[in-house]
């Protein structure tokens, strides 16, 4: 496994982190409120990574992330990643998800079906999203639960962060349906 390096940077959404090796980007940390929290989250998953000045290609990804959180339409699909060690099914899910562009969403079930898996594989797609090492670059925030519900999001801020990212892209999810209809006329 190639040695990893990382860098923490500020965006309009908060402090993000990025880690890379000689193959490509290996981890992206979505915004937190402090550089320290971002660094702690990155190092929890990559304890051997070393802080470093990013090379040009990583600086380009950082600049794109900054523009994204400023509301600019960004396509991250050409950023080189290193997904070594990821489950093969997860890699297929990630490849399919990278084709879901700015302002568009899909569902766990739709991704499973696109990959030729049976409908129960939607849970496996959900697991891939939860283990996504490079959220934003692999846009797991664009995956919704059945019926257009938000679904889960394991990044800092949870589902609220997911909704904020979607709104940044012009996707507005309606308020959740009430659990019980009112008897009032």
DSSP one-letter string for 5-52: EEEEEEETTEEEEEEE-SSSEEEEEEEESSHHHHHHHHHHH-TT-EE-
Tokens in use for 34?
A: 């402090």
Are 169 and 102 a contacting pair, CB within 8 Å?
Answer: yes
Instruction: Provide the token pair at 15.
Output: 């402090």
At residue 100, the 3 state secondary structure works out as coil
Strands (E), the chain: 5-11, 14-20, 25-32, 50-51, 106-107, 143-144
Chain centroid to CA 107: how far? 14
Rg (CA), the chain: 17
* C-beta of residue 23 within 8 angstroms of C-beta of residue 82: yes
Q: Which of 30, 74, 111, 140 is catalytic?
A: 140
Active site includes 140? yes
Please give the positions annotated as active site. 140
């Amino acid at each position: 496994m190639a040695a990893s390096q990382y860098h923490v940077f500020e965006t309009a959404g908060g402090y993000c982190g990025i880690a890379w090796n000689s193959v490509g980007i290996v981890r992206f940390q979505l915004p937190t409120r402090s550089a320290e929290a971002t660094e702690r989250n990155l190092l929890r998953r990559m304890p051997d990574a070393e802080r470093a000045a990013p090379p040009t290609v990583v600086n380009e990804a950082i600049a794109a992330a900054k523009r994204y959180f400023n509301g600019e339409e960004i396509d991250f699909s050409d950023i080189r990643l290193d997904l070594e060690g990821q489950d093969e099914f997860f890699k297929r899910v990630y490849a399919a998800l990278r084709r879901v562009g700015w302002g568009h969403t899909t569902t766990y079930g739709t991704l499973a079906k696109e990959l030729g898996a049976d409908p129960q594989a939607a849970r496996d797609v959900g697991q891939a999203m939860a283990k996504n090492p490079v959220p934003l670059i692999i846009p797991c925030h664009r995956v919704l639960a059945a019926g257009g519900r938000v679904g889960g999001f394991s990044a800092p801020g949870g589902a609220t962060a997911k909704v904020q990212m979607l709104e940044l892209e012009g996707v507005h999810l309606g308020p959740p349906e009430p659990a019980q209809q009112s008897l009032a006329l």
